[in-house]
Amino acid sequence: MGTKTRLSSFFYLITLGGLISFIVFMLNTGKGLQSADVKTIAGAEAGSHLSAALMQTLSHPLPIFILQLVLIIIVSQVFAAAFRKIGQPGVIGEIVAGITLGPSIMGAALPAFSKFIFPAASMGNLQMLSQVGLILFMFVIGMELNLETLKKKAGAAVIISHASIVIPYALGVGLSYFMYKTYAPANIPFYAFALFMGIAMSITAFPVLARIIKERNITNTRLGTIAITCAAADDITAWCLLALVIAIVKAGSIGASAYTVLLAIGYVGFMVYAVKPLLKKLVHQRNPDNSIKRSSIALMFTILLLSAFASELIGIHALFGAFMAGIVMPQKFEFRKQIIDKIEDVAVVLLLPLFFVFTGLRTQIGLLNDSSLWMMCAVIIVVAVIGKFGGSALAARITGESTYSSLAIGALMNTRGLVELVVLNIGYDLGILTPQVFTMMVLMALVTTFMTNPALNILNRLYPAESGRVFNTPPEHR
């Protein structure tokens, strides 16, 4: 050890020892300043005081929220991994994890623990942060939609996409006629219930579908291209229709919603013709290492939040604004990839599971306590499958696709997943759906998404020659 090192160590020990001695001296001397009324905690009292302090700390919002986050992330990841093992998208596992942590399973099996970890007072925080996650998620969905590719590859896909919306929408409106008297809230007019049921039946989950197509290695096939293009067109159309329905419901009548619709059209025009050209300049503002400047990211987030705020202010929901902000972002692939990579992990791993759990806490399977309710749930699932699966497959067959491709497109378009849950929660918040109908619709979203991969596997066995051509034909011949 060198001389300098020894001197440094000696100085450190002397200084530390001197300061500790000074603190101990001051604490002992300061006891004389205390009045006789001051009590000192000692012995058995200290243990009970510590226990009381611990319970008081756990009753505060922040520690409970941290515990909720830890539990939600662990359970979501475990369920996601388990469902991937059985050939299902991880998002299905996360949705099931949310329901498991809700009153249907954990609330019934461990009521005391459930009330401790998810007290009623914490629901506001959980909902607010889950909404932030949804805003980021809808922004990513908007960015994943490449409008230039959509224009080039539209063709028959537009017909299939519109058929996959119109047919289930009409069936949803028809079904609402038979459900309204028994299942709709008393203060909700029929047109609001019917229009919303139509939207809920016609949703396709673009993100989940895209991941299924990627996992099955059919991204560059004709089948994969048509399905992705259909889902993209479906998403844009469905969210525009949802914005219209929300405007009508909030306005109180179809006529009174005209003002909101005009504002929404003006808002979309401003985003496309004013904000989009401005954002194109962001692509050229790069750091020396080719990464996007922090100021550009700050501007992008500002536009995202202002867009969400504007759409909420207009009355068409903040999520539509987030979706619109993603659509108008510069189309350059490298730019979008960098932004998506920055946002997706935080949104998908940390914040979206909060939304699944919040949805799970609203999903009370125990409310379906009668055979007639389960029968109604089955009818909803059947109508949803006929409308989306059947409508998409029929339109694909009419446009000239083979039987195999038509049925495969139908199976893929029947995927509802997370986007359906987003729509259902909007309906629940607007008071359009009762807890019973909400639970039925959540189960419908789970069943229709869960059946996608098994349906495709069955089709591959029934049509081995055609499925073989899809997977084995080089991309330039597809």
CA gap 18, 204 in Å, rounded = 71
Please give the angle made by the CA atoms of 306, 354 and 87, to the nearest 5 degrees: 115
| pLDDT, mean of residues 429-438 | 93
- Can you give the three-state secondary structure of 298-323, one letter per residue? HHHHHHHHHHHHHHHHHCCCHHHHHH
State the pLDDT at residue 375. 96
CA gap 317, 266 in Å, rounded = 15
Q: In degrees to the nearest 10, what's the CA dihedral of 304, 307, 312, 314? A: 180
Q: Does the structure show a pLDDT above 70 at 129?
A: yes
442: Cβ contacts below 8 Å, ≥ 6 apart: 99, 359, 363, 421, 424
Q: Which of 20-34, 104-118, 355-369, 405-419 has the lowest mean pLDDT?
A: 20-34
CA gap 83, 92 in Å, rounded = 7
Q: What is the pLDDT of residues 63-87, one digit of tens each?
A: 888 888 899 999 999 998 999 888 8
State the pLDDT at residue 350. 82
State the pLDDT at residue 104. 86
* The one-letter amino acid at 163: A
Question: What share of the chain has pLDDT > 70, as a percent?
Answer: 86
Q: Which of 80-84, 145-149, 151-155, 164-168 has the lowest mean pLDDT?
A: 151-155
CB atoms within 10 A of CB 255: 9
238: Cβ contacts below 8 Å, ≥ 6 apart: 165, 199, 202, 203, 204
Q: In degrees to the nearest 10, what's the CA dihedral of 163, 169, 173, 179? A: 120
Question: What share of the chain has pLDDT > 90, as a percent?
Answer: 24
Q: Does the structure show a pLDDT above 60 at 472?
A: no
CA gap 394, 160 in Å, rounded = 8
What pairs with residue 292 in β-bridges? 286
| pLDDT, mean of residues 461-465 | 83
CATH no., domain 95-452: 1.20.1530.20
Q: What is the pLDDT of residues 267-322, one digit of tens each?
A: 989 998 999 888 877 666 665 666 677 777 888 889 999 999 999 888 888 888 88
What token pair was written down for 277?
Answer: 């050209």
Q: Does the structure show a pLDDT above 60 at 61?
A: yes
What confidence category does residue 348 fall into, taking pLDDT thresholds of 50, 70 and 90? confident
Residue extents of the structural domains in the chain: 95-452
C-beta of residue 51 within 8 angstroms of C-beta of residue 69 = no
What confidence category does residue 476 fall into, taking pLDDT thresholds of 50, 70 and 90? very low
State the pLDDT at residue 38. 62
CA gap 75, 92 in Å, rounded = 13
State the pLDDT at residue 469. 60
C-beta of residue 251 within 8 angstroms of C-beta of residue 189 = no
Give me the chain's average pLDDT, please.
83
Number of residues assigned to the chain: 478
Per-residue buried b or exposed e for 187-200, using 16+ beta carbons within 10 Å of the residue's own CB = ebbeebbbbbbbbb
First-last CA distance in the chain: 73
- Can you give the three-state secondary structure of 77-93, one letter per residue? HHHHHHHHHCCCCHHHH
- CA 379 vs CA 171, 173, 432, 475: distances in Å: 11, 14, 19, 41
CA gap 323, 137 in Å, rounded = 8
CA gap 468, 155 in Å, rounded = 25
Q: Does the structure show a pLDDT above 90 at 373?
A: yes
What token pair was written down for 327?
Answer: 């659509």
| pLDDT, mean of residues 165-175 | 93
Q: Does the structure show a pLDDT above 70 at 463?
A: yes
Q: Which of 16-20, 277-281, 466-470 has the lowest mean pLDDT?
A: 466-470
Q: Does the structure show a pLDDT above 80 at 379?
A: yes
State the pLDDT at residue 304. 92
State the pLDDT at residue 475. 39
Q: What is the pTM of this model?
A: 0.79
Closest CA to 267 of 321, 214, 190: 321
Q: Which of 4-8, 226-230, 246-250, 377-381 has the lowest mean pLDDT?
A: 4-8
- CA 95 vs CA 9, 74, 90, 359, 411: distances in Å: 57, 13, 9, 8, 20
| pLDDT, mean of residues 114-128 | 85
Q: What is the pLDDT of residues 176-224, one digit of tens each?
A: 999 999 999 988 899 889 999 999 999 888 777 877 887 777 767 778 8
Question: In which residue are the tokens 């629940």 written?
Answer: 428
Q: Does the structure show a pLDDT above 80 at 160?
A: yes
Q: What is the pLDDT of residues 24-45, one digit of tens each?
A: 888 888 777 776 666 665 555 5
What is the enclosing helix (H) or strand (E) of 95? helix 90-100
Q: Does the structure show a pLDDT above 70 at 154?
A: no
